[in-house]
């Protein structure tokens, strides 16, 4: 069953609040068990319908709900955030990471918990997928390089990656095309099933968009410039290596 994030206190948070009837029903049930003021926040990646389409329904269901996002186009937005803004949700510390490219206002959320032995988590929306990345709808290869390598890539290696879609198997088929001799790709593809979460460390072993500094990826792209390699590989994937994809609604329970 898909669930919103469950905290150690009385709050809940949906990441993202997609138009999912199961999610809405679960939050309805939570209202009967909790005071409405204790049903916490919605964290929104971007303005697109597959992520933001449930905002208005949930806000009507729970008046006073806080909707976080980095784009004024996000439906029912109440709290606009920017790069390195921080806030707390129950026992969790949340840092906002601006990732313009897929959309200009895309935000990822880096989540840690005080005095916990659990690894941190990052909710990456349409920026980083397992073995892939989002299309450059409103940005450039340079922006995606900065997002993947200079921001997400510098998070602790053990950080768990919760992306907005489950495209893993199809992404791995493309990565095998880019690096046919990469054993990590073949192992992941042999094992692959619904795979979320990944980790930042894992992505550096098989995600071509995070491996654009590797010689094997640059040779495939025909350039030694990692940003140009990013642009060429994304263009190649968009143009010719298209596979069916299925929408995945991220659900993550924190103990």
Full DSSP string of 63-108: TT-EEEES-TTSTT--EE--TT-EEEETTEEEEEEE--SSSTT-EE
The whole-number average pLDDT for the span 217-229 is 98
Quick one: angle between helices 168-178 and 183-191, nearest 10?
160
Q: What pLDDT was estimated at residue 240?
A: 73
Q: Is the pLDDT of residue 247 over 90?
A: no
Euclidean distance between the first and the last CA atom of the chain, given in angstroms as a whole number: 17
Q: Is the pLDDT of residue 118 over 60?
A: yes
The overall average pLDDT reported for the chain is 80
Going by pLDDT thresholds of 50, 70 and 90, the confidence category of residue 176 is very high
pTM score of the predicted model: 0.79
Contact 18, 53 (CB under 8 A): yes
Domains along the chain? 119-248 (3.60.15.10)
Least confident of 42-56, 99-113, 156-170, 210-224: 42-56
Q: Which residue has the tokens 């032995």?
A: 117
Going by pLDDT thresholds of 50, 70 and 90, the confidence category of residue 33 is low
Higher pLDDT, 52 or 231: 231
Going by pLDDT thresholds of 50, 70 and 90, the confidence category of residue 252 is very low
The whole-number average pLDDT for the span 236-255 is 50
Q: What pLDDT was estimated at residue 68?
A: 87
Q: What pLDDT was estimated at residue 19?
A: 52
Backbone angles phi, psi at 217, to 5 degrees: -75, -40
Q: What pLDDT was estimated at residue 60?
A: 80
Q: Is the pLDDT of residue 29 over 50?
A: yes
């Amino acid at each position: 069953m898909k669930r919103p994030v469950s905290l150690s206190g009385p709050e809940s948070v949906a990441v993202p609040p997609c138009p999912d009837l199961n999610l809405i029903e679960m939050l309805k049930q939570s209202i009967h068990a909790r005071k409405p003021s204790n049903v916490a926040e919605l964290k929104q990646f971007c303005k697109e319908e597959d992520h933001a389409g449930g905002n208005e329904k949930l806000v009507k269901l729970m008046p006073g709900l806080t909707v976080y996002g980095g784009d004024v186009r996000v439906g029912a937005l109440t709290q606009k955030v920017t790069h390195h803004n921080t806030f707390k949700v129950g026992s969790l510390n949340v840092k906002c990471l601006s990732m313009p490219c897929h959309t200009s206002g895309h935000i990822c959320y880096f989540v840690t918990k005080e005095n916990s032995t659990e690894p941190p988590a990052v909710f990456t929306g349409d920026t980083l997928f397992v073995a892939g990345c989002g299309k450059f709808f409103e940005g450039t290869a340079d922006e995606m390089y900065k997002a993947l390598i200079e921001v997400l890539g510098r998070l602790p290696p053990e950080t768990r990656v919760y992306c907005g879609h489950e495209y893993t198997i199809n992404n791995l088929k493309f990565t095998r095309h880019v690096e046919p001799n990469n054993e990590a790709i073949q192992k992941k593809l042999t094992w692959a099933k619904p795979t979320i979460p990944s980790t930042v460390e894992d992505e550096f072993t098989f995600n071509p968009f995070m491996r654009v500094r590797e010689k094997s990826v640059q040779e495939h792209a025909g350039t030694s410039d990692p940003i140009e390699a990013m642009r060429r590989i994304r263009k190649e994937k968009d143009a010719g290596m298209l596979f069916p994809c299925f929408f995945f609604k991220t659900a993550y329970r924190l103990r």
